[in-house]
Chains A and B, each alone.
Chain A
């Protein structure tokens, strides 16, 4: 009884969320990470061991940062459409979404479109490069997909078909099934018809499984730049952990992401104060706009748009956009007012997409 009391009384002490770029003792990321990627992971040993077990089940990251189909205004990018969507693995109609919302025409004859970037979560990839599960590999259940008509193409296939730049970093195996053409993993992705620079991966503290934030920088035509981050937080940790931490899982994820962002900017600024304009958006898996994790993020991203006040996953406001101008905001860059909204169609995913437009500074 004393143990129960003590355990619950210390519940609410948030376990370490600090991150590090030192991956020397990690079994997994060095083997799978592209050398050109910056990689930040939890510093706590307990987290690193758990993340290794999940990471062992996924294939290599995909880094194809130059689009084959250029945006209509490339070279003088002034406004960038930012789309945010949890695609629910093969459930969401990603191809239809890109054609309808980004104005792409994919296939043998491609059409250029206004500049856009899609911050995707639960994108999946099927490949022979996804390794077979071994005894200590953690394998996630496959994402629950709704039935739909049409082909089920993975994110690498769609990016190639549409001529898009792609950064894809798998987080977990998407089920243990073996297919004739390989196995599946799923994770975060950035798809864009503009070049993606300086790709970054942030592994979030281990809670229910392995969750990631991936980032890249997009340069405007006038030298201004914007960092975009695709985030995916946990829904619910295990009951035992939830009770003994006071439901700290998403707060840990938010603090871990903020910590890694501060570290990477310190690493890149050579000692100078350098905050780039940043949009962080994705599936935070929240059931309230006032979630403690969201409140922490709004402090770190003080120029965030007001919550939409409507559900993106059923009635729950799971998906969000955060923004901070950073130092480069002094050049006039910022979000275009009135452009933040939830798209009416969910394109067969269990999440509705969000859209917002960023205008680069001059």
Chain B
């Protein structure tokens, strides 16, 4: 029960944090209905995919197992939907660029998935599509994905080499968790900065 409550509470807090700033901005700028709906759908799909991908390994070591994966995926989908709603509603062009990135990722991932067919036993077209869907989720937020995965991989490898018993599954867990977190963080940053036309300064200069 504690896990469910914490996931729900986290989702609610994040939803509030992400939605309220753009909601205030709607008094000053036009709200674009259909881009916001599309953004919410894209954000939800992207969040669900990376939430599932990033939680499979850590959840595998819990009693809840697949149920744990589901709750993380739902929580990440809520965060993605809220962020997508804000980005699409306030800044449709930016949402369009993220959708194009997702499409490129989907195509690239599917090509990679198909290329793997001769090398993996019982690899089916739906598996190639699964790679494509993961690619699409990453493609919506490639910078966050790259930073998150890179940071996670470095930390995971360092801990693997220094902490006995951590092992390669632990390193993979941290790397994939970093990727998922990176994608979600980029969605949230884009939502939070959606009403601004200038790049956001967060201690250092970040430009998307």
Contacts and interface: CB of A to CB of B under 8 A. Distances in A.
B69 A247 contact: yes
Contacts of A293: 65
B66 A291 contact: no
A315 B168 contact: yes
B114 interface: no
Contact of A240 (B45, B48, B129): B129
Contact of A1 (B45, B71, B123, B126): B45
Contact of B63 (A8, A240, A247, A292): A292
Nearest to B167: A315
Nearest to A12: B70
A238 B127 contact: yes
A246 B70 contact: yes
Contact of B121 (A5, A11, A141, A242): A141
Contacts of B127: 238-240
Nearest to A315: B167
Given A5-B44, A12-B73, A141-B121, A243 B65 contact: no
B124 A240 contact: yes
Given A12-B69, A247-B69, A292 B45 contact: no
B48 A4 contact: yes
B41 A1 contact: yes
Contacts of A243: 49, 52-53, 56, 130, 133-134
B71 A240 contact: no
A246 B73 CA distance: 9
Contact of A12 (B42, B49, B61, B71): B71
A13 interface: yes
Contacts of A248: 65-66
Nearest to B81: A5
A146 interface: no
A68 B56 CA distance: 49
B77 A9 contact: yes
A11 B61 contact: no
Interface in A305-323: 315
Interface size class of B (residues with CB under 8 A): 35 or more
A31 interface: no
Contacts of B59: 246-247, 292
Contacts of B70: 9-13, 246
B204 to A, nearest CB: 33
Interface string A1-45: 110110011111110000000000000000000000000000000
A10 B48 CA distance: 10
Contacts of A296: 63
Given A12-B73, A240-B126, A246-B56, A292 B66 contact: yes
A247 to B, nearest CB: 5
Contacts of B42: 1
A8 B52 contact: yes
A208 interface: yes
B62 A292 contact: yes
Given A248-B66, A291-B60, 4 more contacts: A242-B56, A246-B67, A251-B65, A251-B66
Interface of A: 1-2, 4-5, 8-14, 140-141, 208-209, 238-240, 242-243, 245-248, 251, 287-288, 290-293, 295-296, 315
Interface of B: 41-42, 44-45, 48-49, 51-53, 55-56, 59-71, 73-74, 77, 121-124, 126-127, 129-131, 133-134, 167-169
11 contacts: A5-B44, A8-B73, A9-B73, A12-B66, A140-B121, A240-B124, A240-B127, A243-B49, A292-B61, A295-B63, A296-B63
